[in-house]
């Protein structure tokens, strides 16, 4: 029997001659785990580029280029489709680590220009745009784009501007849309380059006139030509081209007094533009649509009529902003604030005024009686017919001895700004300087910087036909609303100041921004 069991045991032992040692097998598990962990580190460090190359934009990441048809790509798309593609390309990434980086960059190009997720299938131009638009977790360096691409990018960024409720440097109630203005202004600061033509002899060109009611064009010319942030000497980098002439100096140099003939002025400017077009390729390239001029003289619009492209295409910053004459084009041109500068060395002198409770005069005006509006104003409210309405043909000597012109404005609740021969009036900005709520009486007048400013927050507009009801209209304004408007006048004041050294959001920058903003609106 024992022999029988021995014979049966022999095959059983032969079958398990290679018996598994489970204790040794369990010892191998930690070794394989460590090996797998080291392999993962190797893959992430050397096969897949680090975060500075592989960037997944956050939901509100402003560095991602936005198209007009789509908002920011979602994280799900990036984590799903892009990571799947990265896994497919890993074998090639071992030989060329930069290939994955190029792929991820190409995946963030605007939707309209992307034909394939694979960067190798994109045109060379799209590769260039992709590399410029997609940055390493930072805001896009728009300066790497061509001028045309930069303008398109800026336009789409503004169209999808992040909502802003308040800003420490801006007062939201003054603006039509503070979110749009803030984003547009930021892009202007980081992007805009202006080329100034050096052609043209003085005094008409490059000779700013800094005093009087037409000083805006001279101050802008002076500060623009001195500027280093926005001015470029390379026209190929320019987004805008400045024609540096003065309508005021043109009047002095070319107009024959008493002739009532403005044709010599328009012919002179026509010949200048033709010379520019013949000498440089930039005018003909866009037919003048990326060129701009700044003219505050009443005759500013009439100086451009001799050249069709200059009148129709060029961005014109004009104090005489009257669309009814079919020269000023709303949406393309900008209304230039007309500022009276009495002392060029001290342009900010006399600023300020009395607080709202120390303004006993309801409404004040003193000035020449030219134009169609002022005689009507004098007819109904002049001659001291009403103690609350101080309306004078000229400020009488007996009155000025007690209180001069500026003191009257500083002591009035409302300062009347009727048009003269043309729709514009320097009293609008004067009222703002002296913290008096301006009352604008001029039909067909596009208010200054109205692309961004909400004038209803700090001014009153009265139709010419309502002059007989002027006092009634002013008294109907609740005291609470007047106090708010008075406060807003003080807040908006900084946007209308000519600083010898320009500061953010002052009048120089506001004018330049409106030119930039209207250029983008043409896209």
The CA angle 443-447-448, to the nearest 5 degrees, is: 150
Q: Which residues contact 130 (CB under 8 A, 6 or more apart)?
A: 105, 106, 108, 109, 119, 122
DSSP 446-507: PPTTTTTB-GGGT-EE--GGGGGGHHHHHHTS-HHHHHHHHHHHHHHGGGG---SS--TTSH
Which residues make beta-bridge pairs with 315? 292
pTM of the model: 0.75
Give the C-alpha separation, 507 to 499, whole Å: 8
Query: Is the Cβ–Cβ distance between 300 and 319 less than 8 Å?
Result: yes
In the chain, what's the furthest Cα-to-Cα distance? 150
Q: Which token pair is 480? A: 């609470």
Query: Is the Cβ–Cβ distance between 312 and 331 less than 8 Å?
Result: no
Q: Can you give the pLDDT of all 523 residues of the chain as single tens digits?
A: 444 444 444 444 444 444 555 556 566 676 767 677 667 666 555 544 444 333 333 333 333 333 333 333 333 333 334 333 333 333 333 333 333 333 333 333 333 333 333 333 333 443 344 344 433 344 568 888 999 999 999 999 999 999 999 899 999 999 999 999 999 999 999 999 999 999 999 999 999 999 999 999 999 999 999 999 999 999 999 999 999 999 999 999 999 999 999 999 999 999 999 999 999 999 999 999 999 999 999 999 999 999 999 999 999 999 999 999 999 999 999 999 999 999 999 999 999 999 999 999 999 999 999 999 999 999 999 988 899 999 999 899 999 999 999 999 999 999 999 999 999 999 999 999 999 999 999 999 999 999 999 999 999 999 999 999 999 999 999 999 999 999 999 999 999 999 999 999 999 999 999 999 999 999 9
């Amino acid at each position: 029997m024992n022999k029988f069991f021995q014979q049966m045991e022999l095959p059983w032992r032969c079958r398990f001659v290679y018996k598994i040692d489970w204790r040794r097998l369990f010892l191998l598990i930690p070794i394989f785990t460590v090996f797998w962990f080291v392999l993962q580190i190797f893959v992430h460090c050397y096969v897949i580029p680090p975060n500075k190359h592989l960037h997944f934009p956050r939901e509100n990441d402003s560095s991602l280029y936005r198209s007009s048809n789509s908002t920011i790509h979602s994280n799900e798309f990036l984590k799903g489709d892009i990571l799947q593609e990265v896994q497919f390309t890993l074998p090639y990434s071992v030989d060329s680590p930069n290939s994955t980086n190029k792929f991820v960059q190409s995946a963030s190009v605007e939707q309209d220009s992307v034909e394939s997720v694979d960067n190798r299938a994109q045109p060379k131009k799209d590769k260039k745009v992709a590399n410029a638009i997609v940055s390493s977790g930072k805001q896009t360096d728009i300066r790497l784009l061509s001028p045309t691409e930069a303008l398109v990018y800026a336009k789409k960024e503004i169209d999808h501007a992040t909502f802003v409720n308040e800003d420490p440097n801006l007062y939201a109630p003054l603006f039509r849309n503070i979110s749009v203005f803030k984003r547009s202004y930021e892009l202007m600061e980081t992007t805009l380059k202006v080329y100034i033509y050096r052609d043209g002899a003085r005094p008409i060109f490059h000779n700013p006139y800094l005093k009087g009611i037409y000083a805006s064009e001279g101050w802008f010319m002076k500060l623009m030509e001195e500027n280093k942030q926005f001015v470029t000497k390379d026209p190929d980098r320019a987004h805008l081209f400045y024609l540096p002439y003065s309508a005021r100096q043109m009047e002095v140099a070319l107009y024959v007094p008493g002739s009532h003939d403005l044709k010599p002025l328009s012919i002179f400017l026509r010949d200048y533009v033709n010379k520019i077009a013949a000498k440089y390729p930039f005018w003909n390239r866009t037919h003048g649509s990326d060129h701009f001029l700044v003219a505050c003289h009443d005759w500013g619009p009439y100086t451009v009529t001799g050249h069709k492209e200059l009148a129709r295409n060029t961005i014109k910053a004009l104090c005489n902003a009257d669309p009814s004459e079919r020269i000023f084009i709303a949406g393309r041109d900008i209304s230039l604030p007309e500022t009276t500068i009495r002392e060029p060395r001290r342009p900010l002198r006399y600023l300020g005024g009395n607080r709202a409770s120390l303004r006993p005069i309801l409404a004040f005006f003193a000035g020449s009686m030219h134009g169609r509006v002022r005689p009507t104003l004098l007819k109904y409210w002049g001659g001291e017919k009403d103690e609350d309405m101080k309306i004078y043909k000229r400020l009488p000597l007996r009155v000025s001895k007690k209180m001069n012109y500026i003191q009257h404005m500083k002591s009035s609740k409302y300062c009347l700004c009727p048009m003269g021969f043309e729709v514009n009036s320097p009293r609008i900005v004067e009222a703002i300087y002296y913290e008096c709520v301006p009352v604008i009486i001029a039909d067909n007048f596009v208010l200054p910087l109205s692309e961004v400013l909400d004038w209803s927050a700090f001014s009153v507009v009265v139709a010419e036909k309502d002059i007989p009801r002027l006092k009634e209209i002013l008294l109907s304004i609740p005291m609470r609303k007047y106090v708010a408007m008075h406060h807003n006048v003080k807040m908006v004041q900084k946007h209308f100041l000519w600083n010898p050294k320009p500061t953010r959001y002052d009048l120089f920058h506001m004018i330049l921004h409106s030119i930039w903003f209207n250029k983008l609106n043409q896209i």
